[in-house]
Amino acid sequence: MLIIKEIDQADRLLLRNICWLTWLAIAESLQLTILVIVVSQFILIKTPTFIQHLFPANLNDVRPERGILFYQIFVAVALLIAAVLIGIRYQRLRIDQISPSLKSFVLVVTSGLVSQLFAAFKWITSPALAWPKILFYFALVATIGCQIFLPELKAALSKAVQLWKASSFVQKQVIKLGMEIVFLLGLGFALFGLDMNKVLARDFAVDQFYHFDGFIMSSTWAWLQGCVPNVDVISQYSLLLPVIIGSIAKWMGGLSYLHVDEILMAMTGIYLLLAYTFMRSWLKNRLIAVFGILLFVKWNFFHWGVTPIIWMLPGVIPVRYIFDVAVLWLIFKDLKTPALLYRGSAALLCGLAMAYMVDTGLYLTAAFGAYVGLNIFLYWSSKDRLRRLIEAAVLLILAIGIWWIVWYSLVGPWIFIKTFWSNVTEHIALFLNGWGALPIYDGLKERNFFAFVMGLVIPIVYVATAMVTASMVFLKKAHQKWLLTTVMALYGLLIYHYFIIRSAVSSYYVVCLPFVFILCFWINEFIPTLKGKLRLRIQVALVGWAVVALFSNQLFVYYPNIFNLAGYDWKPEIQFYRQEFQFQKDAALIQKFSKPGEAAPLISSFETQILIDANRKPFFYYFPLITSRFMSAQLIGGTYVHTRARMIKTLNQLETAKPAYVFVEKRLFNHTLPERFYQYFQTVSLLMDYLHNQYTSYEEGQYLVALKRR
């Protein structure tokens, strides 16, 4: 460093020029080496004669390869090119700067090499994938072609820039809108252009619809059959969502896993479109909005916590907190043009959010309350302080009132009964008491260092952002619109309880949208501090990085969309799903010994689908009762009866109603599974012991047996 400080300006120019020429020499040498490696793949290596003298056990130790040759070619060519370039330009290196055209040439070669090396990395580490090979050869040909025709390409680009500058404002907006539509359609096809047979087959093969049933499917079927949620049948996540899903599915022709998946995808698509449009309107920057939505999709849809496909886990898709973007947008509108209409609409949506999903609804309402409170504090010295306090109270009453009105329309007078509220809070209480909880250092234990660091960084960013933005607004050093970012940070801190309670390696991705918003906000604030051309380059680079990060993600590659980048053969999985997920004979057995509209006591894997096929309502409050596993497998997954209180309630239902027939999975009742399962899952043993005492086998179906009361 001391030597560099002491050299004069001419020497500094010399050093910069030598660095540029050396960079070019290394890049061209590496490109030539790659080309030689590609050509050599078509030339067989001559087998060494000495292997004839080896014993068979030692043959695997002989692996002829050309690594030394490639290494020597790279070193020799790099040194030769560097020497030639520096020798030719030696007299001018202290006087003239490297021309912009040569710098452009170096950057083009480097960009092509990066693409080739990235594709080669994916090709070597994931040889089953088809796209890295295609990308590699495309990048190789494109890089060589760009080097040959660079002047022509620059001329064409210059002409395109001139045409763009000569275009009218309307023409530019039409072109931008067209590009935006193409982007949104492409992203839509990538995420939702799915073969639904593949989606259902993958969910069945990996999860047996366990999370799907628990989150939405079972409670929706119960509601369609006239059951009161959290009175007749548990609805552990939401009261309103099953009503929405059930109503739409009924309009689509009936409840099925296919229809529910399609509804959830449509809701998610609307949410993503709303999030993108909001970012574009708020930040007034299309490229940052594109970057933000791509980053959110990458983090939320394709992280290892949702392996192998996110639709298997509906509890982690944006449907869980679907109202938040709309409320944030109304706050943004209110900050631009204060109006009671915006605040009242936001309070109404908060009420719907609480009725829809209690936890996320409460977090959103608290964030909106923080916005109202900050506004009151900001204008505390004004004369209309009392009016603002009264308005805040009315908005709070409106939100709570909407929540209760919606729930009253669903459960009626039960909303005033303690039992209903005990049922509503039962699932929440389990988590608050440690059910499924993980320590915050779980990622560290699993050696997932990036996830662990991100899990700690996100709340720090939230706190810092809230403090900085609020302080700048109250000190009148920033526009009041910055309060929106404060509210986002507070909402992020509230919804981050999901990660704090269950600090799985992937949980922060589930609730990452506020973090993405805040990240885009700070980037958007930083961009104007840069020079003109650099602004655009950085934004384009961010979008390019997000596209590459998404499309090269392993889960995206195997995602069952129209691209099928992995070239995966889905036929065996689909065939297995169609063979195993058939319960018509058992549905007929239930129909034979139960009347339409009558609750059917069913204890089996895939209770929800069997009751849908039989068109019968569930009998047990804890529905489904059994954790599903393949009917052909010699194992069980336990029950949803996690506590002794749940077991007592389930047995009391049987003892009080004394149903004439109970339908049970044969492998459970006949005790054909290995003894270790019955010892481990005591809930199954208790249920089977009760049934053996009170019922006798009467008639069998394919997987079920109908038990008749003694």
pLDDT in tens, 464-514: 999 999 999 888 888 888 999 999 999 999 998 887 877 776 677 888 899
Rounded Cα gap, residues 251 and 244, in angstroms = 11
Distance of CA 298 to the CA centre of its chain: 6
Rounded Cα gap, residues 343 and 392, in angstroms = 9
Vertex 301 angle, CA 297 and 305, to 5°: 140
Q: What pTM, to 2 d.p., does this model score?
A: 0.89
Model confidence at 35: pLDDT above 60:
yes
pLDDT in tens, 36-45: 989 888 887 7
- Return the structure tokens found at 385: 């302080």
Average pLDDT taken over every residue of the chain:
88
In the 3-class helix/strand/coil scheme, how is 425-485 assigned residue by residue? HHHHHHHHCCCCCECCCHHHHCCCHHHHHHHHHHHHHHHHHHHHHHHHHHCCCCCHHHHHH
10 confidence band (pLDDT: 50, 70, 90): low
Model confidence at 432: pLDDT above 70:
yes
Exposure b/e, 298-309, CB count within 10 A at least 16 = b: bbbbbbebbebb
pLDDT in tens, 272-321: 999 999 999 999 999 999 999 999 999 999 987 788 889 999 988 999 99
Rounded Cα gap, residues 428 and 316, in angstroms = 16
Which of 666, 286, 299 minimizes the C-alpha distance to 511?
A: 299
If phi > 0 it is left, if psi is from -120 to 50 it is alpha, else beta; for residue 145 that is alpha
Model confidence at 32: pLDDT above 50:
yes
Is residue 533 classed exposed, middle or buried when 0-12, 13-18 and 19+ CB atoms within 10 A define those classes? exposed
If phi > 0 it is left, if psi is from -120 to 50 it is alpha, else beta; for residue 28 that is alpha
Predicted local confidence at residue 384, as pLDDT:
77
Model confidence at 46: pLDDT above 70:
yes
The fraction of the chain above a pLDDT of 70, given in percent, is 95
Q: Which of 137-151, 434-448, 545-559 has the lowest mean pLDDT?
A: 434-448
Predicted local confidence at residue 532, as pLDDT:
78
Vertex 97 angle, CA 92 and 98, to 5°: 95
Which of 560, 614, 561 minimizes the C-alpha distance to 583?
A: 614
Predicted local confidence at residue 2, as pLDDT:
43
Q: How many Cα atoms sit within 13 Å of 83 on the Cβ side?
A: 6
Predicted local confidence at residue 94, as pLDDT:
65
Rounded Cα gap, residues 31 and 141, in angstroms = 11
Whether 309 and 199 have beta carbons less than 8 Å apart is answered as yes
Predicted local confidence at residue 1, as pLDDT:
42
Predicted local confidence at residue 62, as pLDDT:
66
Q: Which of 18-27, 417-426, 560-569 has the lowest mean pLDDT?
A: 560-569
- Return the structure tokens found at 631: 């009917």
Helix (H, G, I), strand (E, B) or coil at 386: helix
Measured in degrees and rounded to the nearest 5, phi and psi for residue 700 equal -110, 150
63 confidence band (pLDDT: 50, 70, 90): low
Q: Mean per-residue pLDDT for 211-222?
A: 94
pLDDT in tens, 527-579: 999 887 789 889 999 999 999 888 888 888 888 887 777 778 889 999 999 99
Question: What letter represents residue 362's amino acid?
Answer: L
Model confidence at 601: pLDDT above 90:
yes
Helix (H, G, I), strand (E, B) or coil at 23: helix
Predicted local confidence at residue 557, as pLDDT:
85
Model confidence at 5: pLDDT above 60:
no
Exposure b/e, 129-153, CB count within 10 A at least 16 = b: bebbeebbeebbeebeebeeeeeee
Q: Which helix (H) or strand (E) holds 56?
A: none
Predicted local confidence at residue 246, as pLDDT:
96
Exposure b/e, 447-466, CB count within 10 A at least 16 = b: ebeebbebbeebbebbeebb
Measured in degrees and rounded to the nearest 5, phi and psi for residue 596 equal -55, 135
Distance of CA 499 to the CA centre of its chain: 15
Q: Which helix (H) or strand (E) holds 564?
A: none
Whether 31 and 74 have beta carbons less than 8 Å apart is answered as no
Rounded Cα gap, residues 355 and 241, in angstroms = 9
Instruction: Measure the CA dihedral 138/141/146/147, to 10°.
Output: 140
Greater model confidence, 267 or 131: 267
Which of 282, 270, 273, 302 minimizes the C-alpha distance to 520?
A: 282
Q: Mean per-residue pLDDT for 337-355?
A: 95
Greater model confidence, 501 or 149: 149
Rounded Cα gap, residues 575 and 383, in angstroms = 72
Determine how β-strand 704-709 pairs with β-strand 661-665: antiparallel
DSSP character at residue 322? T
pLDDT in tens, 66-88: 788 889 999 999 999 888 888 87
3 confidence band (pLDDT: 50, 70, 90): very low
Helix (H, G, I), strand (E, B) or coil at 323: coil
CB count, 10 Å around CB of 543? Answer: 20
Predicted local confidence at residue 184, as pLDDT:
93
DSSP character at residue 593? T
Contacts of 453 (CB under 8 A, 6+ apart): none
Q: Mean per-residue pLDDT for 83-111?
A: 79
Vertex 56 angle, CA 55 and 61, to 5°: 90
- Return the structure tokens found at 594: 């139960």
Contacts of 236 (CB under 8 A, 6+ apart): 214, 219, 426, 427
